[in-house]
Amino acid sequence: MTTEVKGAARSAENNPAVQALARVGNVAVGVVHILIGGIGISLAFGASGEADQSGAFQQLMKTPGGVFILWVVVVGLLALGLWEVLETILAPGADPKRRWATRLKEGGKAIVYFALAWLGFVIATGGSASSNSSNTSMTAKILAAPGGVFLLVLIGLGVIAIGVYYIVRGARKTFARDIQTPSGAVGDATITLGVVGYISKGIALGIVGILVVVAAVTTDPQKASGLDGALVTLRGLPFGPVILFAVSLGLIAYGVYYCVKAFVVRL
């Protein structure tokens, strides 16, 4: 990567306006997870709803001032995606031997944030979007392709690996390296939120990955129902509503952690 490109990326990353927007993006991620967790809790008590990103955006649209808030969330997610692009270019603090692994991780996060921003944009402009149907449609296309079953199994295993990564990151508290932890009770609460949140999200992602593998093995794209399907699957287990309630609370904790992270993250 050329020195000029890195220099431009570093200048953009040091821009106070870009940093402020990145912090707004962290709050946006937090809001999305809080809403998903809230929908998950309602599912645990027998209500209906789509406990994923599209469901969260649609729920936000129903609140007073929700359209404006959703637009702020979209802008924040775009800004956070841009920030991750800059991180992909610079790979700050990465060991030279692991720099490309770091870039792959940051680039993946950028794609996720841009995709979420697009989903929010579609809903904010009056369009309809369902993460569930999108997952099913994409899964069907992959299964129809040559070697699609094998590819889908790899994708599912990859999602499971990401889930394990989140669980380990939470259990070992390695996420704390990215923030300037406040002192005292506030700092302890921030770390606790992070631990609970990362582990809960890891569990949810692990179930998503398992459902993708099941969809591949059974060649049934309906099985790959995304985050909403993962939470609904939890509800169907023995003591499922209790487990779903606990995981949903964890997702809310993850969202609150991200809102706090917006103010203490190292930029």
* Spans of all domains in the chain: 3-264
DSSP letter string, 21-87: HHHHHHHHHHHHHHHHHHHHHHHHTT-----SHHHHHHHHHTSTTHHHHHHHHHHHHHHHHHHHHHH
- What's the confidence (pLDDT) of residue 113? 92
Per-residue pLDDT of the chain (267 residues; tens, 9 = 90+): 566 666 666 666 667 787 888 889 999 999 999 998 998 899 888 877 777 788 888 888 888 888 899 999 999 999 899 888 888 887 665 566 677 777 888 888 889 999 999 988 988 888 766 666 666 777 888 888 888 888 989 998 999 999 999 999 999 999 888 777 777 888 888 899 999 999 999 999 998 889 888 888 888 777 776 777 788 888 888 888 999 999 999 999 999 999 988 887 765
Terminal CA-to-CA distance of the chain, rounded, Å? 22
Q: Which one-letter DSSP state was computed for residue 181? A: P
Q: How far is CA 151 from CA 148, 166, 206, 215, 224, in A?
A: 5, 23, 17, 12, 14
